[in-house]
């Protein structure tokens, strides 16, 4: 089963939009390689364009101008089968263009799968996202609060440790100062005794 056949499971509107998006993606190639005169008859026959639009496109000076005019009409067209008919008209004269249109766009396919799964999901009152086939619960709000509390506790512990370190360093400094004072006292006493000077010294 090729890509276009797989699109048969979609609605006509969805199929038409998918083909339209792929034509947009390959716009420059389309404009440079397709002669709209070859596809205009079928587009008119399927009521995609009017006789006035057909004549207007045909009267353009160059092939590229005709192609741009055709795409402009199709992009503004409200017909839900306009690009489906365009693809059908391109099959015989431009098979490589049709092959390019039918190529599987992996990014679009991934988006479709994710979109379908999201549509099957439901949000509970507790803030959990629940899938009926895969009941995995993710409470985003709880997760954020949990991470915030973890960071807060970590910072608090760090600050408490730093505070304890500062207090311990202050105590050590006080002890060192007391030792230095005591050492200075005995040094002065020794100096006084050796020089026979009488000084009144008060031990701190």
What does the DSSP 8-state code read for residue 44? H
Q: What is the pTM of this model?
A: 0.48
Residue-by-residue DSSP string for 108-163? HHHHHHHHHHHHH-EE-TTSBEE-SSS----BHHHHHHHHHHHHHHHHHHHHHHHH
Rg (the chain; Cα; Å): 42
**Percentage of the chain with pLDDT > 70?**
59
- Tokens in use for 80? 């839900």
Sign of CA dihedral 189, 193, 195, 200: positive
- Give the model confidence (pLDDT) of 13-45 as tens digits: 899 999 999 999 999 999 999 999 999 999 999
- Is the pLDDT at 98 greater than 90? The verdict is yes
Does residue 47 contact residue 84 with C-beta atoms inside 8 Å? no
Considering the chain, what is the average pLDDT of its residues? Answer: 75
Which pLDDT score, from 0 to 100, does residue 64 have? 95
Q: Give the residue-averaged pLDDT of 104-118.
A: 49
The rounded distance, in Å, linking the Cα atoms of 79 and 50 is: 12
- Give the model confidence (pLDDT) of 74-89 as tens digits: 999 889 899 999 999 9
């Amino acid at each position: 089963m090729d890509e276009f056949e797989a699109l048969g499971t979609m609605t006509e509107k969805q199929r038409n939009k998918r083909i339209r998006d792929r034509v947009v993606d390959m716009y420059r190639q389309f404009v440079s390689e397709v002669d709209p005169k070859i596809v205009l008859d079928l587009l008119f026959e399927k009521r995609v364009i009017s006789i006035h639009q057909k004549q207007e496109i045909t009267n353009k000076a160059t092939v590229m101008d005709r192609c741009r005019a055709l795409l402009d009409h199709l992009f503004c067209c409200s017909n839900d089968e306009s690009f489906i008919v365009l693809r059908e008209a391109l099959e015989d004269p431009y098979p490589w263009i049709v092959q390019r249109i039918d190529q599987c766009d992996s990014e679009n396919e991934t988006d479709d799968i994710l979109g379908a799964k999201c549509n099957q999901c439901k949000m509970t009152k507790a803030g959990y996202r629940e899938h009926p086939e895969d009941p995995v619960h993710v409470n985003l709000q709880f997760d954020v609060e949990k991470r915030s509390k973890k960071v807060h506790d970590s910072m608090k512990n760090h600050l408490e440790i730093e505070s304890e370190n500062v207090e311990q360093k202050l105590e050590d400094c006080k002890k060192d100062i007391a030792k230095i004072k005591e050492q200075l006292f005995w040094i002065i006493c020794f100096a006084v005794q050796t020089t026979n000077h009488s000084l009144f010294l008060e031990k701190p």
